[in-house]
Structure formats: structure tokens, C-alpha cells
Structure 1
Amino acid sequence: MSFLEKISPFERRDLLFAWFCLAVAFTLGISGGLALITDVGKISVNMLVMTFVVAVVTVGLSFVLHELAHKFVAIRYGYWAEFRKNTQMLLIAVVVAVITGIVFAAPGATLINTAGREMTKKENGIISLAGPLTNLILAVPFLACLIAGVLLGGASISVFTFPGFLFYLGMIGFQVNAMLAFFNMLPVGPLDGRKILRWNAVVFVALIAVSLLVLYVSLQPGMFVALLL
């Protein structure tokens, strides 16, 4: 069975719906939420479209691959696993982004059916580890885009040039993946960090430390401009 055949039509619809809603929410959040609607005359349509495209690529890939990483590691252990969207939370994410300009999203979760078999702490920990680890890996090519944008564009980067687009895409993608990795590593509630900590404290400490470092670096894009020019 191929990679795509393991993703059911129902799951694909859920992933695409969540992908679209997250892209809309992030576009509104990055663009200023309610200010975007009240200052209609000041809206740059080109900037709005570019932000949406960047959100589709960065947020979409980061979210979808995070969930699919959980799914396919669970499948490797012999479990059934599928993503299920949370429509209510996705709509709330869009509304909150409109009102506050802040994105808070809980798009859904990858559900795992063990068919009566007891999942071990190791299995649960490694399945959980796959998500934030995927985001840390994804941060690397986005960082490369950011650096390429700086090197090609010089000190003054316009987002409507190819170097500027690369920089903008890389910066947002780097930040989104860093945030997703760190947030999911928090050892609370149903988040991945709690399950990883139960399995292996050393792995948890190492991964959350790396996630925090990557998050800090991702929030300093000016540092790359200063270092590279």
C-alpha cells in the first residue's frame, strides 16, 4: 500500500479543511486581525495574497506533516491512526484571529485505535516524539530559505521580490515550526511533551531544550541579516 493510500478520503477532507482554516487564521493574525477589516482602504491586496500563500505553505506543511508523522509511526507499531479535525476549535481560531490578531489553534488530533492492545510507554513516547521532531527538521529548510533571501537581497529586502519572498517565507516557516515544536513539547494535558516525559526524561529534556533554543533564534530574524551582511 502506497503512502497516499494509507490516508483515507475522510481523513484527507479533514486535513484539507484544517489546513485551509489555519491558513486563513494565520493570514488574519499576521495581517492584524480586526485592523485589517476596519482599515479596508489601507489593505494591500498583493500583501494579503502573499501572506495567505506563505501561510498555506508554512502552516499547512508544518501542521499536516506533524500529524502525519504521528500517524505513520503509530502505523509502524501496528495501530490504526487517523487525523480528525475539530471544526468548532478551527472556527474559534479564525474568529479569535479576526478580533485579536492572535492565532490560537487546536485544529484536531491524530486518533489512535489500539484494538484492545495495550500501548507501551515507549511506543506512546516515540509516536508523540515524531510530531515535534518533524517540526524541528522542517525548521531547517525554512531557515535555509531565510538565509538565501538575505544573501540574495542584501540589506533592503522588499517582500515583492524573489529574495524578499524567500526571506518572508523562510522567516514565517522557521517561526511556525519552532513554535509548534516547543508548544507541543510542554508536559501538560494531552500535549506530546507529557507522553515523552513519561517514557524518557532525558529525551524530553534534550528535545524541549533544543525546541526552546530554536524558538528563541527564530524570533530574532534581524540577527541573520546582521550576521550575513
Structure 2
Amino acid sequence: MVRFSKGEVRDILISMVVIAGVFAYVFSGRNLQVALIRLPATLVTVGLGFVLHEIAHKLMAIRYGFWAEYRLWLEGLVLALVTSYFGFVFAAPGAVYIHGNYIDRDVNGKISIAGPLTNIMLALIFLMASSVLPSPFRDVAVLGYAVNSFLALFNLIPIAVLDGAKVFRWNPLIWLIAAASAFALTFNSMF
């Protein structure tokens, strides 16, 4: 059974609201009034993408017998707020911390790929929904598609602490397929 501590739920909710808020602010052209109007849509699209991404990491870690818990990173939330002021979002709100015996490269890669794959699946679900939903729901689905494809691509960058570095070390071919898929979805969402 998967359990969430009160602190973990609090950290997820704070991170979700801040991340949805900064995306709403940037998507509104940095107009606070418009951002407040767009906040419900970004809570659904960005919030869902963020929360399910982190839960996917947690579930995969638990599957391999590890203790896992999401923890907010205050500096990352502040960075997201500051970058949104300049018109873009660099979000590193926190991470799922994993504890247990030694985590080998294979298991770490599998835990790491779970988040971006979740965003790719969400992007595809939102894309399919956008073709059948009436406006304004279609607009929310298009936003969900664009945001989740971007979240997958961003997280698959193979640097430092991002998921992409761990996936690449585990299996470069799987990283390439996932990154190419996220890139194609992101590139397609721009048009």
C-alpha cells in the first residue's frame, strides 16, 4: 500500500500550486489578472503533470523495495518564481527522495524514466482529448498536451540531477527513444 505523509502531501500541494501559478503567469504574458483567470487550467494541466510525474517515481521506487517520499525544495520554488518574472519557467520544485540499500544504475534508470514516460502518456491523452472536446475544454487539453510534452523533454535533458542523466547512464537507447518522442511531441505542440 502506498502511503503519503502529511508533510509529503503538504509539499506536493505547495509545489503544485506554485508551479501552476508561475506557468499561468508566463502563459498570460506576465499579466497577473489574466494569470488568475488561467490558474484553474494550469492547475489541471501543469498540476496533474507534475503530481503524476512525481508519484510515478515514488511508485516505481516502492516497487523495487525502497522508501520514497516527495520533498519540496524551497530554493527551486524561488527559482521558478524569479524566472517567471523574466518570462520563462525554470522549475525544480522538489524531488522524490529514495532511501534503502544500494540503488544500482539499472534500477535508478527505471525509477527515473517513470516520470517522463508519465508526462509523455499525459501529453498523448490530452492530444486525443483535444480532438474531441468542445471549446473551452479543447483549449485546456491543448495546453495539457503542450505542457506535458515539454515537461517530459525538459526532464530528459541528460545533465546533473535531471531524470535524463540517470536514464542515459542506464540505457542510452531507451533515453534516445524517450527524448526523441518528447522532442517530437514538444516540437509538434508549437505549431
Q: TM-score, normalised by structure 1?
A: 0.79
Q: For residue 122 of structure 1, what is the aligned residue in structure 2?
A: 106
Q: For residue 4 of structure 2, what is the aligned residue in structure 1?
A: 7
Matches within 5 A, 1:1-229: 1=1, 3=2, 6-33=3-30, 36=31, 43=33, 48-97=35-84, 99-114=85-100, 117-149=101-133, 163-220=134-191
Contact 2:27/2:35 (CA < 8 Å) preserved in 1?
no
Contact 1:148/1:166 (CA < 8 Å) preserved in 2?
no
Contact 1:145/1:169 (CA < 8 Å) preserved in 2?
no
Counterpart amino acid of 1:134?
A: T
Counterpart amino acid of 2:135?
A: G
Quote the sequence identity (%).
Answer: 40
The CA distance in 2 between the partners of 1:93 and 1:48, in whole Å, is 15
What count of residue pairs does the alignment treat as equivalent?
A: 191
The CA distance in 2 between the partners of 1:8 and 1:165, in whole Å, is 36
The CA distance in 2 between the partners of 1:26 and 1:125, in whole Å, is 28
RMSD: 1.5
The CA distance in 1 between the partners of 2:158 and 2:88, in whole Å, is 23
Q: Match of 1:123, SS?
A: helix
Deviation string 1:36-60 (CA, Å, 9 cap, x unpaired) is: 25xxxxx5xxx54441110100010
Task: Mark the runs of 5 or more structure 1 residues left unpaired by the alignment.
Answer: 38-42, 150-162, 221-229
The CA distance in 1 between the partners of 2:175 and 2:125, in whole Å, is 24
The CA distance in 1 between the partners of 2:98 and 2:166, in whole Å, is 14
Change (3 A) 1:170 1:119: same
Contact 1:31/1:101 (CA < 8 Å) preserved in 2?
no
Change (3 A) 1:48 1:25: closer
The CA distance in 1 between the partners of 2:111 and 2:151, in whole Å, is 16
Deviation string 1:126-165 (CA, Å, 9 cap, x unpaired) is: 000101000001112211222124xxxxxxxxxxxxx221
Q: For residue 223 of structure 1, what is the aligned residue in structure 2?
A: none
Q: For residue 155 of structure 1, what is the aligned residue in structure 2?
A: none
Q: Match of 2:102, SS?
A: coil
The CA distance in 2 between the partners of 1:121 and 1:88, in whole Å, is 28
Larger Rg: 1
